[in-house]
């Protein structure tokens, strides 16, 4: 039975109620979580505030960085055990779970090294004045995270906040939070003072909304669906605190007729099957120039037929989806697409021998998807790829920007001028040229525009998100 981590200690929830932990690859319950409520959130926020006023608030940036660097080393030394935990909690293939732990450790390494490198400024001002601009932590930061990459999300959201000296309260997803809980022990072992990191598990509408409504938080960062993002932003607006939103996507991969198609093929398949397509930056729309449409799509079909979903140990292209509701949702998209007459060009396999209770969906490929079809516009969050033809460069740009989302775009062409022209006109947060980077990319500023959210995580810029600026003007006389 898992407990909350508050003030450096494992703590039972106030209500005594629990939630089951399911293994998505079997559908079986293998542990229990605390079903946190407002009283637990209250204790966690108080612990974070006390840490800011105590040892954590007094710790130098160098020492904060050293704690995070030690966390990285401990994660690496326990990486196989952590990867097994992550795979069991999320169902993802072992090689992906292993990668996720490496990435989480890399966040600790990156932000550990950067903690003492965010500096203020001195500003030349009027005679007899001395002006400095200080960078300071916000205070208590609230983090609400999804289930798709729990270990990476911890590294991406919580770690830069700690690097800047904030005290964090995390409400991970009720569907996958075991790695975040395991990281609490690692943080303690690495010397993180009590209260700097607090984790309360529970449901979004209970623990999550209690956290966003709490008067003791100074900042909220949310990663998840656009619908809940709206609720979180409204709660932040009520309190006039800063809110970073990392929401969904419907990212295009644009393949021009002059592209290196051999190279593009592997990336295209991986960008939609990785994590079962449950990736905000999944390349879920494949835009193909009409002149190569038939020949290239035939090659995508061949590759797609070979793809398969399996258990973590089978280590196929994808694992099961996270839960029964997500499986139903994705199957609904596939069923409606077939019913609307869309050609189902190819479907991968569900590997033989997977447990009957697991939430497996075979990857599905649809061709000639009309531009206003739900598969061309809405986030499926599953292994479903929609192919749409385009005529020329202007048409490709218009089509790529046509959804409400704006997270990533991939451009496949050998023409250097076109690479830059198209990249400049993409309305999104990251553009990949002749490559595609769903997941990972610790060093690369990441985030969306439009319905994909606002604010930036990852890279050095995340540190700027997690600190506020204070200008100090001193009259020093003669
Ligand atoms: P979700 O929005 O359902 O839940 C995310 C988190 O919000 C969970 O911890 C949940 O408990 C909590 N929550 C739910 N209701 C809440 C409320 N009323 N108040 C406060 N918290 C609440 O999202 P999900 O299903 O876990 O994840 C899938 C979505 O996340 C997809 O849309 C995906 O694109 C998005 N996502 C975005 C990024 C990104 O970086 N842009 C990364 C990963 C996932």
**pLDDT band, very low/low/confident/very high, at 478 (cuts 50, 70, 90):** confident
- Read off the pLDDT of residues 267-292 as tens digits, 9 standing for 90 and up: 999 999 999 999 999 999 999 999 99
231 lines ligand 1 (CB under 6 A): yes
- Read off the pLDDT of residues 115-132 as tens digits, 9 standing for 90 and up: 999 999 999 999 999 999
Q: What is the mean pLDDT of the chain?
A: 97
Helix ranges (H only) for 359-412 are 374-377, 393-400
Give percent above pLDDT 70 in the chain: 99
**pLDDT band, very low/low/confident/very high, at 34 (cuts 50, 70, 90):** very high
pLDDT value of position 438: 59
Q: Ligand 1: which residue has its CA nearest to atom 18?
A: 205
The CATH class given to the 4-247 domain equals alpha beta
pLDDT value of position 440: 65
The torsion angles phi and psi of 242, rounded to 5 degrees, stand at -70, 145
* 65 CB neighbour count, 10 Å cutoff: 22
Is-catalytic flag, 243? no
- Read off the pLDDT of residues 328-351 as tens digits, 9 standing for 90 and up: 999 999 999 999 999 999 999 999
280 lines ligand 1 (CB under 6 A): yes
The pLDDT of residue 254 is above 80: yes
Tell me which of 169, 204, 328 to substitute to probe ligand 1's pocket, judged by most ligand atoms within 8 Å of the beta carbon.
204
- Read off the pLDDT of residues 39-97 as tens digits, 9 standing for 90 and up: 999 999 999 999 999 999 999 999 999 999 999 999 999 999 999 999 999 999 999 99
Burial status of residue 329 (CB atoms within 10 A of its CB: 0-12, 13-18, 19 or more) = middle
- Read off the pLDDT of residues 433-475 as tens digits, 9 standing for 90 and up: 999 985 569 999 999 999 999 999 999 999 999 999 999 999 9
Task: Confirm whether 4-247 and 252-442 share one CATH topology.
Answer: no
Q: Which of 280, 318, 428, 467 is catalytic?
A: 280
205 lines ligand 1 (CB under 6 A): yes
The pLDDT of residue 148 is above 60: yes
pLDDT value of position 205: 98
The torsion angles phi and psi of 365, rounded to 5 degrees, stand at -125, 125
Domain map (residue ranges) of the chain: 4-247, 252-442
Tell me which of 38, 224, 442 to substitute to probe ligand 1's pocket, judged by most ligand atoms within 8 Å of the beta carbon.
224
The pLDDT of residue 306 is above 70: yes
The pLDDT of residue 172 is above 60: yes
221 lines ligand 1 (CB under 6 A): no
Q: How far apart, in whole angstroms, are the C-alpha atoms of residue 237 and residue 215?
A: 12
pLDDT value of position 154: 98
Are 223 and 146 a contacting pair, CB within 8 Å?
yes
Is-catalytic flag, 246? yes
Show the CA angle centred on residue 165, arms to residues 138 and 11, nearest 5°.
95
Q: What letter does residue 276 receive in the DSSP assignment?
A: G
- Read off the pLDDT of residues 67-81 as tens digits, 9 standing for 90 and up: 999 999 999 999 999
Q: Does domain 252-442 have CATH number 3.40.309.10?
A: yes
Strands of the sheet containing 283-289, edge to edge, are 344-347, 364-366, 384-390, 283-289, 251-255, 408-412, 430-433
């Amino acid at each position: 039975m898992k407990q909350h981590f508050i003030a450096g200690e494992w703590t039972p929830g106030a209500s005594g109620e629990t939630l089951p932990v399911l293994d998505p690859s079997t559908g079986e319950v293998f542990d229990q979580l605390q079903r946190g409520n407002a009283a637990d959130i209250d204790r966690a926020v108080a612990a974070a505030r006390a840490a800011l006023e105590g040892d954590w608030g007094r710790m130098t940036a160098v020492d904060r960085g050293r704690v995070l660097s030690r966390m990285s080393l401990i994660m690496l030394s326990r990486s196989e055990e952590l990867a097994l935990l992550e795979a069991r909690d999320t169902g993802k293939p072992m090689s992906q779970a292993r990668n996720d732990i490496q990435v989480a450790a890399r966040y600790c390494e990156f932000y550990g090294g950067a903690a003492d490198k965010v500096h203020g400024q001195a500003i030349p001002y009027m005679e007899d004045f001395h002006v400095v601009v200080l960078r300071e932590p916000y205070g208590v930061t609230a983090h609400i995270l999804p289930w798709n990459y729990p270990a990476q999300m911890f590294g991406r959201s919580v770690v830069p906040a700690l690097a800047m000296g904030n005290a964090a309260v995390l409400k991970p997803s009720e569907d996958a939070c075991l790695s975040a809980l395991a990281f609490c022990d690692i943080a303690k072992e690495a010397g993180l003072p009590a209260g700097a990191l607090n984790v309360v598990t529970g449901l979004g509408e209970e623990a999550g909304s209690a956290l966003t409504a709490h008067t003791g938080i100074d900042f909220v960062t949310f990663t998840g669906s656009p619908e809940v993002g709206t609720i979180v932003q409204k709660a932040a607006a009520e309190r006039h605190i800063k809110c970073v939103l990392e929401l969904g996507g419907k990212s295009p991969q644009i393949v021009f007729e002059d592209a290196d198609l051999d190279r593009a093929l592997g990336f295209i398949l991986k960008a939609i099957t990785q994590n079962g397509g449950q990736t905000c930056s999944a390349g879920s729309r494949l835009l193909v120039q009409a002149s190569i449409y038939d020949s290239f799509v035939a090659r995508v079909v061949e590759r797609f037929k070979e793809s398969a979903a399996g258990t973590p140990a089978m280590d196929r292209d994808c694992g099961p989806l996270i839960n029964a509701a997500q499986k139903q949702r994705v199957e609904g998209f596939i069923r409606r697409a077939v019913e609307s007459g869309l050609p189902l060009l190819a479907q991968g396999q569900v590997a033989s021998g997977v447990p009957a209770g697991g939430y497996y969906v075979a990857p599905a490929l649809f061709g000639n998807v009309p531009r206003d079809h739900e598969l061309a516009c809405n986030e499926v969050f599953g292994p479903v790829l929609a192919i749409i033809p385009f005529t020329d460069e202007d048409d490709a740009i218009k089509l790529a920007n046509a959804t409400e989302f704006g997270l990533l775009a991939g451009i496949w062409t050998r023409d250097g001028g076109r690479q830059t022209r198209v990249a400049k006109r993409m309305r999104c947060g990251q553009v990949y040229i002749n490559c595609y980077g769903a997941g990972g990319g610790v060093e690369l500023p990441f985030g969306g525009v439009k319905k994909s959210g606002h604010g930036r995580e990852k890279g050095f810029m995340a540190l700027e998100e997690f600190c506020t600026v204070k200008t100090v003007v001193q009259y020093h006389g003669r």
